[in-house]
Every structure is written in C-alpha cells, then in structure tokens.
A and B are shown apart, each in its own frame.
Chain A
Amino acid sequence: MPILLGTLLALVSVVVIVYPFLGSKKYRLVSESFVTREKLRAERLRIYRKISDVEADFTSGDLTEADYQHQRDQLRIAAAEILKQESGESMPNAKRDEELEKQISRLREQSAASTEAPEGGDTL
C-alpha cells in the first residue's frame, strides 16, 4: 500500500509539472509593458499613501506649512506623472486631475479621522 501511494504521488507530480507543456493553454512570459503597468500602478498607490501620511504629519505639527505644501505638491506631480504614463496620452489633463483628486479623496475618507490627528508615519 505505501509503495502504491508513493507511486501515485510520483505520477500526480509528473502530470502536474508536464501539464504546462501539453495543455491547450499557451504560456508566455509577461511582457515588459505588463510589468511596467503593474509597477506604475504600485508606485502610484504608494504615492497616494505618502500623500495621506504627509497630510497627517502636517496636522500633527510634524511638518511646517511650507514643507507640507512642498512635499504634497511634489507627490501630486509625481502621481500625475505616473497617471499620465499609465494612460498614455489618451486621457486629457482635466480628466487626469479629476482622477487624481478622486483617488486622494478616497484615501482621505478611508482614514478620515486620521488626518485630523497626530500622525507621524509608521513604526513597524
């Protein structure tokens, strides 16, 4: 019985690893453009989170108004730049700004209270 189970396990393993070569599904390595899109999206989300953190820092007094304005503007420009790269030239500027505002507002709503309180970043 153990030998039978072991043989069955070996057969299942062979089927599982051979299947990608024989199945109807054709695999392709992900394209550079797909990886780039995913990276841009991740970077944009990171920037949104940073904008939220900067707003919280300012509210808590961790940042001066000048620093806050400077950092927030830089981050918004960076986010807009990424949105531009993501959408190509197809999205008009006004639409892009609207999308950016929408995403930042959504983040702000999610941590609604946190923007009013002392926040300095993460410890972990």
Chain B
Amino acid sequence: MADLGVMALLLGLALSAYSAIGAIIGEKIGMAALVVSARRALYMTTVTAIVASGALINAFVQNDFSIAYVADHSNTLMDRAFVWVAFYAGNEGSLLYILLALSVISAISVWFAPKRLARSMPWTIAILAIIQLFYFGVLAFVASPFELLATVPLEGRGINPLLTPPGMFSHPPLLMGGLIGVTIPFAFVSGALIAGNYGDDWIDVARVSAIITWGVLGTGMLLGAWWAYTILGWGGYWAWDPIENVALMPWLVMTAFIHSIMVQKRRGMFRMWNVALLNIAFVLAQLGMFINRGGPVVSVHSFAASTLGTIFLLFMMVSLVFAFALFLWRMPQLKSDRAMESFVSREASFLINNFLFLAVMGVTLWGVLFPVFSDLARDVSVSVSAPYFDRVNGPVLLGIVVMMGIGPLLPWRKTSARSMKQWFVWPIIVGLITIGILVALGIQRPVAIFSFGVLAFVATAIGEEWWRGTAARHRSGDNWALAWWRLVNGNRPRHGGYIVHISILMLALGIIGTNFYQQRTNGSLALGESLVIDSYRIEYVDTFDSSRPDRIAQWAEMTVYQIDPDDYKQEISFAKAQGSSGFTLKDSTLRPNDELIDTIEPWHGFYIDFNMASVRSGIRSTVVEDLYVIPRDFLADGRVSLAVSINPLAWWLWVSGPFFIIGTMVALWPQAAVERRPARKRLKGESEGEL
C-alpha cells in the first residue's frame, strides 16, 4: 500500500502543478479547453488525496508496520476504531489529512462557484492548485507518511494515549480543517482581484465559505477546550498555549470579517477592509501551520521534532507578500460606494467591533511572538503566560460583548435620540438590576459583577428584538412558537447570528464564573478519609486496578456528599485561618446534614511505551458549578493525592457549543430564491461551454 500512497502523492503533485499552470496559461491565451482541463486536474487532485489517505488508513487496518508512520502510531492492541485518529496522530499523517481536507473543499467550492465568477475562476483555481502543490510537495519529498522501515518490527509503538478519548475523533480534524478552510474565501477573493473583478460578485461565496470555516474552527476550539477540561486533567480548559492561540487568531479575524462583510453587502462599504481581513486571516492560518510544524515556539500540541519549520516559514512569507502585494495593487479600485454618515450607526458599531477583534488578535500575536523576538534580540528565552493574556485581552473581550448588545440595536446609516431611547432603555435597566441584585446578595468582585451586568444587557437586547418581532407576528394570528419560528426564518443570517451571540453569552458566563470564583484545594487521602471544600465532602471509599498490557491504571471510588457548612463550622474557620479553601477529615463519621449526592471514579494511568501519565478527572457537573477532582498520584502508602476545585458556571461553557453550531447553521441556511433560474436547458444554451 505504501507504493500506491507514494504514487498517488506524486500524481497529485503533477496534477496540481498542471492545474496551476494550465489555468493561468489558458486564461492568458484565451484557450478555454486548457482552463477546463486545469479545473478537471484540480478535481483529480482530490481523487489522488483520497487514494493516498485510503492507502494510509488501509495500512493501519492491516497493521502494516513496514511503514514507519504506522509503526509509530499504532499497534495490534489498538482498537480498530482509532484508525481514524491514528491517521492524523503524527506530523506526516496530519499533513496528509490537511491536504485531503483542502482538496475536497477546493473541489466542492470550484464545482459550485457561481457563473458570474467565470472570469476570475482560472485565477482562483491556480491559487488553490498552488497551495495544494505545496502540500503535495512536502508530503512527497519531505514528510512522507509512506516511508518504509529497513527492519519491520513485529509490533508498533501504539497510539498516543492522549488521543484516545472520543473527542479526538473530531477535535483535531475540525481544527485543522478550519485552519486550512481559510484558503477558500482567500482564493476566491484573490482570484477576483487578479482578474480585475472589483465589484461585490465574490461577496456571497466569500461569506458562505468564511462562515463555514469559522464555524468549523470555532467548534474545533470548543471541543479542544472540552477535551482539556475533561481529559487532560489539569483543571482548566484554555491555557493560552501558542497552538491554541494560532487557532484563535484567524478565528478572531474571520469573526470580524463575517460581521463587516454584511456592511459591504448591505451598504457597499468596507470593501478594502474586508479584503485586508481575509488576507490577515489567511496569513495567520499559515502562521499556525508554521508554529505547529516545528516553529520556534514550544507547545504541548506541536510536532516539536519536526524539521518542517523553515519550509512552512518560507511558505508563510510568500503568502504574506503575495496577499498584500495584490491588495496594494488593487487598492485604488476597492473604494467604498459611500462614506459613513454617522458614528452612531450599525456600520460604525461593526467597525468598532472589528477593531476590538483585531486588538485581541494583536495582543495574542504579540504574546505568541514575543518569546521569539526576545530570543533573537537578547538571546534570552522567555515565555508569555496566561496572566498577560487574561489581563490585556479580558477588558477588550468584555468590550466585544458590550458591542454585541449595542450593534444590533442601532439602525443603518444614523440613529435618532428617540430610537436610542426606545431600544436601549430596557437592556440598560435589566443590566443595572442584575448588578444591584448581585451586590445585594453579597457577591464579591466588582469586575465580575459588572461583567454579569453586561451579559444581562446583551441578553435583554436580543430578547427584546425577538419579543417585538414575535409579538408582531402573534398579533397577526400566529401562535407564539410559530411566530418566533417565522421571525427567525424571515432573516436567517440575522437571527442565526443572535443564536450565536447567545452561545457567546453562555461561554462568557462560564469564563467569568471559573476565572473569578474558582476555589481550589489539595490534599492526600487514605481509604475512609474525606476532603471537604465549600459545601462538598468527598470520601475516598475504594480503589482498584484496571491495568492493560499497554498501561498501568488505578481508579479511586469516591462518594460525594452535600454538606451543611454549619456542621463543619470549626474546621472551616481553622482552614480559612490557614488560607485554605478546604481541609481533610480522618474521621469517617457523617454529620447530621450530610447527604449522599453522587459517586465519582477518577483514575490515574501510566503508559509504559510512551513514558506518559494520563489522568481522568472525576467531575460532578451542575448548572451552578462543577466539583472537579484530579487524582494527581496514587502513593506507595495507599493514599491518593488529590487536587480539588469548585468551578462555578463551568457547565455553561459546554452548553454553548450546540447553540454555536445551531446558530451558525441557521445563519448559513440559504434564503428562498427571489427569482427562479431559467430552465436548465435554456441556461445550458446560454452558458457557452463549460466555463
């Protein structure tokens, strides 16, 4: 199968080179058959990428350890279900996966491209083919997943244990697919600019492909956070790790783009700005590839042993120069149809929101690159950690949430004082009431309280929009549910956007809760002992082994009780005096109001072949808070060492995911056609060939 894989990669390399050259020459000399042939070559690269991927997957299924990549990432003990994960578990396989994703989405987007873009399609095809050419070249000559071993081992090394949880079936593919997906809107817009198509013909293709990419990337990041929280067992979900950051940055820029493209669509403004945003997103995606493939920044996610850094750095530099040279060349033709009339208008709010997104991106980029600059300039290795990102990005992100409430309430062009009063009064009142209630309840931390007020303001703004629209339909005879459904259906991009905004509010709720109100304690327990934190008592009742040939694993069975803090007054006072959030109890006698509410089974494993420890936390999750128990180690004296935390509102982080996906899909769902297209036969007659 290695031979087939190598042949498919070499063929793909030749086809993508032909496609790029054929499309450009065909367009230049006006030879339609050559352009058609180039387009078909692009489709065939998809076939070759599928064949190469199939060959690698088949090698995993067959346990073909003559292929180094297969021997490195699987063994005969590996469940066959993990073949898919093993496929992209290493550097070479993940590159092949990226190529597969790129070629498939390239073929789909070219196939469905609107006819009005026919003149720019050769250029779009050429750009897509050149990017594919790069990946085919890297896979064929530098990082081949089909490299053979001189001596075939009897057994493989096995799959990285961190990649075996179910989330790994979707998190890496979505993240890599999202990053490479930025290529599609970039290629369409660049193609249009090269061809001299300065109008708004590319808006719909760019918007749809950008939203798909943005949704995929966002879902991938959220799944990654969930994986970190539930599987990695370090107690958090976002560490501002360089690889997390390089996925976040293009996502932020794409978020800015999918907002400002609406201004171009509706008002004919921001054309230049939108092209610049797509360019930045594309270059940032390439930066992500560079850092992930042996770039200079160390991350737990990256393929650190890779030597591909220089190649990807060069490709990123070429992308940067190409994108912005093209932009500067065509800039004079990209002027807006009209100027902004007022700074209190929807378009102005979109612009402010764009600046805020770019500010977060800039801060994050600086945090990622600062260690590199420091190393180069002073020969001193430094690392930029979470507090920098939290402190600088936190207020800007809050500003984005505020704009999320203000923007949709402002009309296009300009706003009158009357309409400001009409739309803003209720959201402001509800925001202030929320702050008042939290203060009255004795909740601490002013910044968090203000943030909760902001969330209430935005939620009320969305609710008010929906209420008015639904009530208007209800008055015309629809029942409430149908009225709301018709409201959403009437303008899906807008109301899908609101659903996404709700998901962001949920996410913000979880972030504020876990960042401002988390409680932590550590302790080690012998059987029968308990650890008390806040209103929970966790008793260590049993332990058992579940070792397998590839791992040594030990489980702890723990019962969780809800306690009445008054029953533990003395111990709690003592712990507080020591500056601790919790304490251990040697006595197993329960107090009068202790109530059994759950049993959790955290475990700690060690994977011999990988010399790697892996932990599964015990989590009791509710709408209000999570009880999070990390078994750090099982000690020789029979005790278990624990890190326990209470993570308020963490549940909302994960509930936001489905809302994010649903909102994105609603926003993407096509509107009903205003006008039926002419019959196919007639269209064919008009289309003058295949282009």
Contacts and interface: CB of A to CB of B under 8 A. Distances in A.
B612 interface: no
A13 B15 contact: yes
B394 interface: no
B688 interface: yes
Nearest to B470: A117
Given A39-B201, A124-B211, A119 B501 contact: no
Interface in B32-86: 32-38, 40-41, 43-44, 47-48, 51, 55
A56 B199 CA distance: 26
A120 B44 contact: no
Interface string A57-70: 10111111001000
B8 interface: yes
B262 A122 contact: yes
B259 interface: yes
A27 B38 CA distance: 13
Contact of B493 (A64, A113, A122): A122
Interface in A15-60: 16-21, 25-31, 34-35, 37-39, 41-43, 45-46, 48-50, 53, 56-57, 59-60
A5 B615 CA distance: 45
Contact of B473 (A20, A49, A113): A113
Contact of A50 (B266, B411, B422): B266
B675 interface: yes
Contacts of A57: 411-412
Interface in B453-498: 465, 468-470, 472-473, 476, 478, 483, 486-487, 489-491, 493-494, 496-498
A118 B423 CA distance: 11
Contacts of B3: 2-3, 6
26 contacts: A5-B4, A6-B8, A12-B47, A13-B11, A13-B15, A16-B41, A17-B41, A21-B37, A27-B691, A28-B688, A29-B32, A29-B118, A35-B118, A38-B115, A45-B674, A49-B674, A56-B490, A111-B491, A112-B486, A114-B486, A114-B490, A116-B476, A117-B468, A121-B266, A123-B262, A123-B494
B408 A120 contact: yes
Contact of B483 (A28, A45, A113, A119): A113
A93 interface: no
Q: Which of A13, A25, A112 has the most CB of B within 10 A?
A: A13
Contacts of A39: 116, 199, 201
Interface string B405-431: 001111111001001001000000000
Nearest to A38: B116
B7 interface: yes
Contact of B37 (A5, A20, A26, A111): A20
Contact of A117 (B201, B490, B686): B490
A53 B266 contact: yes
A23 to B, nearest CB: 9
Given A27-B689, A34-B686, A57-B412, 15 more contacts: A13-B48, A17-B41, A20-B690, A27-B35, A27-B36, A35-B115, A35-B119, A39-B201, A45-B675, A56-B490, A106-B675, A119-B469, A120-B410, A121-B494, A122-B494
Contacts of B119: 30, 35
A10 interface: yes
**B-side interface mostly:** helix
B230 to A, nearest CB: 29
Given A116-B472, A119-B469, A13 B37 contact: no
Interface string B392-412: 000000000000000111111
B623 interface: no
A103 interface: yes
Given A9-B47, A57-B411, A121 B262 contact: yes
Contacts of B115: 30, 34-35, 38
Interface in B1-43: 1-4, 7-8, 11, 15, 18, 27, 30, 32-38, 40-41, 43
A69 to B, nearest CB: 14
A21 B44 CA distance: 17
A82 interface: no
A26 B4 contact: no
Contact of A27 (B8, B408, B409, B690): B690
A114 B15 contact: no
B408 A29 contact: no
A110 interface: yes
A6 B12 CA distance: 11
Contacts of B408: 120, 123
Contacts of A63: 411-413
Chain B contact residues (Cβ within 8 angstroms of A): what range? 35 or more
Contacts of B7: 2-3, 6-7, 9-10
A1 to B, nearest CB: 8
Interface of A: 2-3, 5-7, 9-10, 12-13, 16-21, 25-31, 34-35, 37-39, 41-43, 45-46, 48-50, 53, 56-57, 59-64, 67, 103, 106-107, 110-114, 116-124
Contacts of A10: 7, 11
Contacts of A124: 211, 258-259, 262, 493-494, 496-497, 500, 663-664, 667
A2 B497 contact: no
Contacts, number: 223
A1 B417 CA distance: 77
B403 to A, nearest CB: 11
Contacts of A61: 419, 422
B150 interface: no
Contacts of A5: 4, 51
A114 B487 contact: yes
B200 interface: yes
A110 B253 CA distance: 33
A113 B346 contact: no
A39 B265 CA distance: 15
Contacts of A48: 674-675
B219 to A, nearest CB: 15
B478 A113 contact: yes
Q: Which of A28, A34, A37, A118 has the most CB of B within 10 A?
A: A118
A21 B476 contact: no
B679 interface: no
B578 interface: no
A29 B30 contact: yes
Nearest to A10: B11
A91 to B, nearest CB: 15
A46 B15 CA distance: 38
Contact of A26 (B487, B489, B686, B689): B689
Contacts of A18: 37
A38 B413 CA distance: 29
A46 B201 CA distance: 10
B687 interface: yes
Q: Which 8 A-B pairs have the closest CB atoms?
A: A114-B490, A123-B497, A6-B7, A62-B411, A124-B497, A117-B469, A38-B116, A2-B4
A6 B259 contact: no
A122 B413 contact: no
A13 B45 CA distance: 9
B469 A30 contact: no
A26 B33 CA distance: 8
B490 A111 contact: yes
A49 B469 CA distance: 19
B376 interface: no
